[in-house]
C-alpha cells in the first residue's frame, strides 16, 4: 500500500484528508502545533495544554465513526461559560490531562473515533511562533501575526519557534517512509511554515525518496501574501527545506464567484486575489486545473475567529483525484 503524508494545519488538512481517505492508501497527517487563537488559545492559556484545534479537525476528517460522533467532536458551544469552545477541543485537552501527554491523547482519540490512518502532532513539546518584521518589531503567536496589517508592507526578517521544540519521532519516521508528501494548502506563515521550522522535519523531507507536492492556495492573505505568485510560495518552502525539493505544485485556474470575492473583501482578513502562476521554470512541474469548491462555507456563530478562516475552499474530490495520479505514476 502506498504511503501518503500530508503537512499542514487544520482547515486545509481537513479538506485534503476528507478526499484522500477514500482511496486505498496509508495516510498520515502531520499537523502544526502553534495555534493560539479562539478556543485553542484559551485552553492553552488556562490549562497549559498543547493546542488541540488543528488536530481535532484532522481526526474528524479521518474518522470512520458514526456521523453523530463527528458532529459532536466539531460541535461549538454558543452560550454560557463554554461559548466559543468546541467539544472536540475540550475532549482532547481532557484526554491530555488523563493520559499525561498530548501524543497519547491523540492516539486514544484516534482509537475512540475509529480513525483511518494516523494524525501526528509535528512536535511533542510546547512552543510559540514568532515573526520578526524588517523594522525589528516582533510578533508573537499565530493570532497576533494573523491580525497584523503590515507584514507584507514592512517585510519579514525571520520567522522562528521558541523554545526550540522536539520533532515527533513518528512524524520523522513517516516522512522518511513516504511515497508522496503533500504540503498545504493553508495559511502560509501560520499553518504551513511552522511545521517546516521544527528541527528534523526539513531534513526528513530532504532525505525521503517521496515525491513532494505543494498545494497552492486558492487566494492570498491580505496584508501578508497579497503580491505572492505561485513561484514565491514554492521558493519560500524550498528555502526552508534547504534546496529545490518540491516536485509538483497545484494551481487552481477557476475564479471564485463575485459574491465570494465580495465576501472576502468586506468580511475577511483574506483577499480574493489569486496568486499568479508566474514562471517556475525547471523548479517543479505545475499541475493546473479547476480545484475550486463552489459550495458556500458556513461557520458556527460561536466561532470567534471565523472571519480569519477561508470562505473559499478546494474541492476535495477534484484535488484528491489529481494527487492520486502522482501516486500511481510512482508505481
Sorted by where each begins, the domain ranges of the chain are 3-329
Using alpha carbons, list the distances in angstroms from residue 188 to 44, 142, 150, 185: 22, 11, 15, 8
Q: Which three cell numbers stand for residue 125?
A: 513539546
Q: Which three cell numbers stand for residue 137?
A: 518589531
Q: Is the pLDDT of residue 304 over 70?
A: no
Query: What is the distance between the alpha carbons of residues 275 and 185, in angstroms, rounded to a whole number?
Result: 13
For the segment 186-207, the average pLDDT, to the nearest whole number, is: 97
Instruction: Return the minimum-mean-pLDDT range out of 127-131, 204-208, 244-248, 301-305.
Output: 301-305
Rg of the Cα atoms in the chain = 18
Using alpha carbons, list the distances in angstroms from residue 14 to 74, 139, 186, 201, 314: 12, 27, 10, 21, 11
pLDDT at residue 305, as a whole number: 47
pLDDT at residue 255, as a whole number: 79
- Grid look-up 497552492 returns 216
Are 5 and 210 in contact by the 8 Å Cβ rule? The answer is yes
Three-state SS at 321:
helix
- Grid look-up 502562476 returns 277
Query: What is the distance between the alpha carbons of residues 189 and 172, in angstroms, rounded to a whole number?
Result: 21
In terms of pTM, does the model score above 0.95? no
| Domain 3-329 grouped into CATH 3.40.50.720 | no
pLDDT at residue 126, as a whole number: 94
pLDDT at residue 278, as a whole number: 58
Using alpha carbons, list the distances in angstroms from residue 104 to 96, 107, 114, 203: 7, 5, 15, 25
Q: Is the pLDDT of residue 74 over 50?
A: yes
Note the pLDDT tens digit of each residue in 277-301.
655 656 789 999 999 987 766 655 5
| Among 37, 67, 32, 17, CA closest to 182 | 17
Query: What is the distance between the alpha carbons of residues 17 and 28, in angstroms, rounded to a whole number?
Result: 9
CA angle 2/20/248 to nearest 5° reads 75
Q: Is the pLDDT of residue 80 over 60?
A: yes
pLDDT at residue 254, as a whole number: 86
Amino acid at each position: 500500500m502506498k504511503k501518503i503524508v500530508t503537512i499542514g494545519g487544520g482547515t486545509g488538512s481537513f479538506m485534503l484528508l476528507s478526499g484522500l481517505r477514500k482511496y486505498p492508501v496509508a495516510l498520515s497527517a502531520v499537523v502544526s502545533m502553534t495555534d493560539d487563537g479562539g478556543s485553542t488559545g484559551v485552553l492553552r492559556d488556562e490549562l497549559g495544554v498543547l493546542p488541540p484545534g488543528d488536530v481535532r479537525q484532522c481526526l474528524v476528517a479521518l474518522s470512520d465513526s458514526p456521523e453523530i460522533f463527528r458532529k459532536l467532536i466539531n460541535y461549538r458551544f454558543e452560550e454560557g461559560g463554554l461559548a466559543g469552545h468546541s467539544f472536540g477541543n475540550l475532549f482532547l485537552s481532557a484526554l491530555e490531562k488523563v493520559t499525561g501527554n498530548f501524543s497519547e491523547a491523540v492516539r486514544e482519540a484516534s482509537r475512540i473515533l475509529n480513525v483511518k490512518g494516523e494524525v501526528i502532532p509535528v512536535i511533542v513539546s510546547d512552543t510559540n511562533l514568532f515573526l520578526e518584521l524588517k523594522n525589528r518589531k516582533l510578533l508573537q503567536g499565530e493570532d497576533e501575526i494573523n491580525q497584523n496589517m503590515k507584514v507584507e508592507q514592512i517585510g519579514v526578517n525571520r520567522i522562528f519557534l521558541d523554545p526550540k521544540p522536539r520533532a515527533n519521532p513518528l512524524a520523522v519516521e513517516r516522512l522518511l517512509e513516504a511515497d508522496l508528501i503533500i504540503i498545504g494548502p493553508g495559511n502560509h506563515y501560520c499553518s504551513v511554515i511552522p511545521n517546516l521550522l521544527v528541527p528534523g522535519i526539513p531534513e526528513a523531507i530532504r532525505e525521503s525518496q517521496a515525491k513532494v507536492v505543494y498545494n497552492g492556495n486558492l487566494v492570498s492573505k491580505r496584508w501578508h501574501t497579497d503580491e505572492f505568485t505561485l513561484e514565491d510560495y514554492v521558493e519560500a518552502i524550498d528555502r526552508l527545506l534547504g534546496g529545490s525539493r518540491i516536485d509538483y505544485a497545484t494551481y487552481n485556474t477557476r475564479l471564485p464567484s463575485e459574491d465570494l470575492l465580495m465576501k472576502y473583501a468586506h468580511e475577511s482578513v483574506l483577499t480574493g486575489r489569486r496568486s499568479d502562476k508566474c514562471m517556475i521554470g525547471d523548479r517543479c512541474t505545475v499541475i493546473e486545473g479547476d480545484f475550486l469548491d463552489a459550495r458556500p462555507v458556513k461557520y458556527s456563530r460561536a466561532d470567534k475567529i471565523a472571519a480569519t478562516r477561508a470562505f473559499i475552499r478546494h474541492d476535495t474530490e477534484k484535488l484528491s483525484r489529481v494527487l492520486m495520479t502522482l501516486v500511481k505514476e510512482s508505481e
